[in-house]
Structure 1
Amino acid sequence: MLDNKEIAKQVIEGVGGKDNIDSVAHCATRLRIMVKDKEQVDETEVENTEKVKGVFYNSGQYQIVFGTGTVNKIYNEVTGLGISGTSKGEMKKESKKQGNAFQRAIRTFGDVFVPIIPVLVATGLFMGLRGLLTQEQVLALFGVAPADINANFLLYTQVLTDTAFAFLPALVAWSAFRVFGGSPVIGIVLGLMLVNPALPNAYAVAGGDASPIFMLGFIPVVGYQGTVLPAFIAGYVGAKVEKRFRKVVPETLDLLISPFGTLLVMSVLSLFVIGPIFHSLEEVVLDVVVWLLSLPLGLAGILIGGLNQILVITGVHHIFNFLEIQLLANTGVNPYNAIITSSVAAQGGATLAVAIKSKSKKLKALAYPSALSAFLGITEPAIFGVNLRYIKPFIFGLVGGAAGGFLADILNLAATGMAVTVIPGTLLYLNDQILWYILSNLVAIGVAFGLTYLFGYSDKMREDIEGSNA
């Protein structure tokens, strides 16, 4: 067995040597190497390196999956051999320079929304727990009726579940200012202006209980509770406006004039121009998504469940965070989550089939933890480490995702939150949906596992691939 220093040497050689490496960083599971020339990377050599569980190229980085704990040790050995280390933040800035305009736009979009997802996940879990604790059947186990629940306790649970979405524009504007180079605190205040209680509540207007305010007689103005796109655009424009102010205002007046000018300009633009225009566009986008999810005969489940993991390969799947947030903010439920959960579970099922069927100890050591990772909601190790390598397991994983997505769709499954799937995702279905949620996942796993085990993998395939790469 090689020690970590020898493994680090093999990795450096495999990616083209020291001269082909700009910098290296690591996250919880992956060594992230910024390479100068992707063509110099010998992917087969890296894949066959001891302790490597998967490799792929994304966002300008050659990412090598080692797993928790191991990656820290390999990183230390790599930097000890004279490779320049850098932080993930610095590497992210460097990677933004790479890729086409669409790829860079998607990465930027993800940079804005990823930091706010944890609080939305927490909110979704609170919703699931509240749904469980207020079920009549569950309360009956403790000899309690719904009418017996203390009103103040219900109010407390409402605070837990409603706050994040009530002030969602403030979260989005904060993150957008941060990403686009403005002062995040100005973003927070601008976002809060969009949901100021002095404005007609968006939900009340939608329900017919309130009317918009008309500025200049023709511009409808409402609060923007639960909206995403207006806050995103306001954050982007606001950061540019602030940077312009700070560029032209003398330093002695900067603290006074720049925040004042930014909020003055952006309050007018956000409430009277950006808000009305992009809120209308947002409603169109949401209507299209809702229409797609309402297609008859489980078609939405088949399409989304079958194709979702292809998007994971391209890296553009993060854009759908926006759609999930919008579904939750406007409808209170997220049917998209139930469908994509099946696509995630199915890739794990296909990888599990490879692990069980293969006689290769190295492949088993890679496939079993990769399958577990997928069942916990992370499919990259399964996809890049196993399924794509043999092609058929990935395809049968897509078929399993379509089957599970079809079932989730016709059963009308809908999550109370977002961003967690498969086993952790059960917390989003702690109501009368839980059994159907488990069933749809088992169908996805079973179809992918069965097809892969019977038709999708053999050790001869592995030997042929390894032989052709020798």
Structure 2
Amino acid sequence: MASNKQIAQSVIEALGGHENIQSVAHCATRLRVMVHDKDNVDVSSLEEVEKVKGAFYNSGQYQIIFGTGTVNNVYNEVVNLGVTGTSKSELKEDAKQQGNWFQRAIRTFGDVFVPIIPALVATGLFMGLRGLVLQEEILAWFGLTPESVPENFITLTQVLTDTAFIFLPALVAWSTFKVFGGNPTIGLVLGLMLVSPSLPNAWAVAGGDAEPMTFFGFIPVLGYQSSVLPAFIAGIVGAKLEKVVRKKVPEALDLVVTPFLVLLIMITLSLFAIGPVFHIVEQGIFEAMRFLLELPFGLSGLIIGFVNQIIVVTGVHHIFNFLEIQLLNNLGYNPFNPIITGAIAAQGGAALAVGLKTKGKKLRALSISSATSAFLGITEPAIFGVNLRYVRPFIMGLVGGGVSGFLASIMGLKATGMAITVLPGALLYLNGQLFGYFLINIVAVAVAFALTWMFGFNDNMLDKKE
């Protein structure tokens, strides 16, 4: 077995040597490398390095999958061998200049929403737990009925499940200011202003229980509880405005004048221009998504389930975060999650079939570990390390995802949250949907596994690849 130092040396050579490596960093599972010329990278040799579970080029970086723990040790050896190390945030700044404008925009979108997702995941789990404990069968164990549940308990659960979405604009504005180089605290206050209790509540307005304030006879002004796009655009404009103001204001007055002007100008713009315009845009996006999800005869699940992992390969899948937040905001549930969870499980099923069918020891170990990762909701090792290398397993995984998505749509499954899938995702279906959730995942794995076993892989393909 090769040492981590030998592995690091092999990685450097496959990447084109020291002179071709601009900088290197790592995340929890992957070594992330910026190179001067990606044509000088020997991807086949890179994938053959011991302990490498896959390698792919995305977001302006070569991302080499090692897994938790191993990646830290290999990174240290790479740096010890003279390669310039850098932080992941600095690497992101370099990577932002890579790719076309659309890829860069989606990457920035992801940078804004990824820090928010843990709070929304927790909220989704709280929703699932509330659905579980308020089921009649569960309450009966304690001699209770839904009508006899104490009001104080219901209020406590609402604090857990509603807070993140009520103040979502504050979270979005905070994160956007941070990504675009502004003061995150100013962004946070701006977002809180958008949901001020002094403004007509957005949910009350939507329900007909309140009317928006009208200015100049045609501009509606209201709160933006659980809205995303107005806060996102306001955050971008506000962060850029802050930079401009800070350059113009004397340093002695900066502490007082800059936040005063930024908040005054931005809340005016947000309530009278950005908010009304982008709220309409946001509603349009939501209605388009809802139309797709409500296609009859399970077509929505079939289409989304099939193409989901193709979109993941392109690296623009962060847009799904926004769409899922929209669904949870407007509907109170997430029909997108059960569709994509089958797509993820299916790629794991395809990789598992490769692992159990091949006689190659290294491919078997890689495939089985990659399948395990997919069953925990992370498909990158399975896709880039196994399925895409041989193409057919990836296609069979797409078919499994389509079949599973079709079944999820027909059954009408609805998650209580977002961002976790397959085995961990079961926590979002505790409100009486657990059987259906496990069924669609089993179908996804079974279809992809069977198709890959029969038509998607044999060791002749391995020989050609080797």
Query: How far apart are the structure 2 equivalents of 1:284 and 1:103?
Result: 22
Instruction: Indicate the residue corresponding to 1:280 in structure 2.
Output: 280
Query: How far apart are the structure 2 equivalents of 1:188 and 1:292?
Result: 34
Instruction: Indicate the residue corresponding to 1:328 in structure 2.
Output: 328
Give the 3-state SS of the residue equivalent to 1:55 in structure 2. strand
Instruction: Indicate the residue corresponding to 2:363 in structure 1.
Output: 363
Give the 3-state SS of the residue equivalent to 2:25 in structure 1. strand
Query: How far apart are the structure 2 equivalents of 1:274 and 1:17?
Result: 49
How far apart are residue 139 of structure 1 and its match? 1.6
Q: How does 1:14-413 map to 2 (within 5 A)?
A: 14-413=14-413
Give the 3-state SS of the residue equivalent to 1:464 in structure 2. helix
**What are the superposed Cα offsets for residues 230-274 of structure 1, whole Å, 9 maximum, x if unpaired?**
000000000111111101000011111100000110011000100
How far apart are residue 123 of structure 1 and its match? 0.3
TM-score by length of 2: 0.99
Report the residue type matching 2:119 in the other structure: V
**What are the superposed Cα offsets for residues 94-150 of structure 1, whole Å, 9 maximum, x if unpaired?**
111111111111111111111100100000000000000100012223332223322
How far apart are residue 67 of structure 1 and its match? 1.0
How far apart are residue 218 of structure 1 and its match? 1.2
Report the residue type matching 2:371 in the other structure: A
Give the 3-state SS of the residue equivalent to 1:420 in structure 2. coil
**What are the superposed Cα offsets for residues 370-417 of structure 1, whole Å, 9 maximum, x if unpaired?**
001101000000000000001000000000000000000011111110
Give the 3-state SS of the residue equivalent to 2:336 in structure 1. helix
Give the 3-state SS of the residue equivalent to 1:335 in structure 2. coil
Query: How far apart are the structure 1 equivalents of 2:142 and 2:346?
Result: 37
Query: How far apart are the structure 2 equivalents of 1:101 and 1:262?
Result: 28
Report the residue type matching 1:212 in the other structure: P
Give the 3-state SS of the residue equivalent to 2:418 in structure 1. coil
Report the residue type matching 1:364 in the other structure: R
Query: How far apart are the structure 2 equivalents of 1:403 and 1:446?
Result: 10
**What are the superposed Cα offsets for residues 336-390 of structure 1, whole Å, 9 maximum, x if unpaired?**
1111111001000101111111111101110111001101000000000000001
How far apart are residue 217 of structure 1 and its match? 1.7
Query: How far apart are the structure 1 equivalents of 2:48 and 2:412?
Result: 44
Query: How far apart are the structure 2 equivalents of 1:26 and 1:240?
Result: 29
Query: How far apart are the structure 2 equivalents of 1:114 and 1:69?
Result: 22
How far apart are residue 153 of structure 1 and its match? 1.6
Query: How far apart are the structure 1 equivalents of 2:176 and 2:68?
Result: 31
Give the 3-state SS of the residue equivalent to 1:33 in structure 2. strand
How far apart are residue 3 of structure 1 and its match? 1.2
Report the residue type matching 2:222 in the other structure: V
How far apart are residue 434 of structure 1 and its match? 1.1
Give the 3-state SS of the residue equivalent to 1:176 in structure 2. helix
Report the residue type matching 2:335 in the other structure: P
Report the residue type matching 1:463 in the other structure: D
Instruction: Indicate the residue corresponding to 1:418 in structure 2.
Output: 418
Give the 3-state SS of the residue equivalent to 1:226 in structure 2. coil
Query: How far apart are the structure 2 equivalents of 1:59 and 1:200?
Result: 41
Query: How far apart are the structure 2 equivalents of 1:456 and 1:438?
Result: 25
Instruction: Indicate the residue corresponding to 1:13 in structure 2.
Output: 13
**What are the superposed Cα offsets for residues 183-204 of structure 1, whole Å, 9 maximum, x if unpaired?**
1001111111111111111111
Instruction: Indicate the residue corresponding to 2:434 in structure 1.
Output: 434
Q: Number of matched residues?
A: 466
**What are the superposed Cα offsets for residues 133-186 of structure 1, whole Å, 9 maximum, x if unpaired?**
100012223332223322212111110000000000000000110111111001
Query: How far apart are the structure 2 equivalents of 1:371 and 1:349?
Result: 7
Query: How far apart are the structure 1 equivalents of 2:115 and 2:247?
Result: 28
Give the 3-state SS of the residue equivalent to 2:342 in structure 1. helix
Give the 3-state SS of the residue equivalent to 1:406 in structure 2. helix
Instruction: Indicate the residue corresponding to 2:454 in structure 1.
Output: 454
How far apart are residue 9 of structure 1 and its match? 0.7
Query: How far apart are the structure 1 equivalents of 2:42 and 2:217?
Result: 66
Query: How far apart are the structure 2 equivalents of 1:228 and 1:408?
Result: 27
Report the residue type matching 2:389 in the other structure: R
Query: How far apart are the structure 2 equivalents of 1:70 and 1:239?
Result: 38
Report the residue type matching 1:321 in the other structure: N
Report the residue type matching 1:249 in the other structure: V
Query: How far apart are the structure 2 equivalents of 1:144 and 1:358?
Result: 55
Query: How far apart are the structure 1 equivalents of 2:150 and 2:378?
Result: 39
Report the residue type matching 1:464 in the other structure: K
How far apart are residue 216 of structure 1 and its match? 1.5
Query: How far apart are the structure 2 equivalents of 1:28 and 1:281?
Result: 36
Query: How far apart are the structure 2 equivalents of 1:192 and 1:52?
Result: 46
**What are the superposed Cα offsets for residues 205-237 of structure 1, whole Å, 9 maximum, x if unpaired?**
111111111011211111111110000000000
Give the 3-state SS of the residue equivalent to 1:214 in structure 2. strand
TM-score by length of 1: 0.98
Give the share of equivalent positions with the same residue, in percent: 67
How far apart are residue 60 of structure 1 and its match? 1.2
